[in-house]
């Protein structure tokens, strides 16, 4: 059986080295699409990069948003998922919960005695997903289809 490993969005973000492959893995973990697609997510992120140039850090030919720009990008993404009536109610509830967690994480980071800006990966980190995925991996519940 192949060995599976899990990387949180924060870990994937920490591994960014300017290569396209690593950025694509990171970006997909946050937004479930490619950074090269012509879609509303990427259009919004490019707009935010222009609106908040000091909150966009270059990573190779791409960028990571921080602070208000990051929370605005994630807010737009998760609000869209939560409002999408073609998605299952459970998934829409999950998206709404993620939105609330992101808003709280941002508010908390800004209310510190010395406010800090969090990145898209830090804001979107899902502690429950990380925990339960690691448990499922360690229990052998996640396997390759042909390994069953």
Query: Is position 111 within any domain?
Result: yes
Question: Residue 133 — pLDDT band, cuts 50, 70, 90?
Answer: confident
What range does the domain containing 57 cover? 9-147
Query: Is position 94 within any domain?
Result: yes
Domain count within the chain: 1
Query: Is position 104 within any domain?
Result: yes
> In sequence order, what are the residues at sequence separation of 6 or more whose Cβ sits closer than 8 angstroms to the Cβ of residue 14?
none
Return the pLDDT at 129.
82
Query: Is position 30 within any domain?
Result: yes
* 27 pLDDT more than 70: yes
Query: Is position 124 within any domain?
Result: yes
Query: Is position 103 within any domain?
Result: yes
Q: How far from 92 is each of 48, 78, 102, 127, 131, CA to CA, in Å?
A: 25, 9, 15, 18, 21
Mean pLDDT for the stretch of residues 84-107: 95
Query: Is position 120 within any domain?
Result: yes
> In sequence order, what are the residues at sequence separation of 6 or more whose Cβ sits closer than 8 angstroms to the Cβ of residue 147?
1, 2
Query: Is position 141 within any domain?
Result: yes
Q: What is the pTM of this model?
A: 0.86
* 41 pLDDT more than 80: yes
Residue 54 has a CB neighbour count (10 Å cut-off) of: 9
């Amino acid at each position: 059986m192949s060995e599976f490993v899990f990387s949180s969005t924060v870990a994937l973000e920490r591994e960014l080295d300017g290569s396209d492959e690593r950025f694509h893995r990171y970006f997909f973990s946050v937004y479930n699409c490619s950074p090269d697609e012509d879609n509303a997510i990427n259009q919004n992120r490019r707009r935010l990069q222009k609106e908040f140039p000091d909150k966009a850090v270059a990573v190779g030919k791409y960028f990571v948003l921080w602070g208000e720009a990051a929370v605005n990008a994630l807010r737009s993404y998760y609000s869209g998922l939560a409002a999408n009536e073609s998605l299952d109610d459970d998934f829409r509830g999950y998206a709404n919960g993620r939105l609330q967690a992101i808003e709280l994480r941002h508010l908390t980071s800004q209310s510190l005695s010395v406010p800090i800006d969090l990145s898209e990966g830090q804001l979107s980190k899902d502690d429950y997903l990380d925990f339960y995925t690691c448990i499922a991996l360690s229990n052998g519940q996640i396997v390759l289809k042909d390994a069953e």
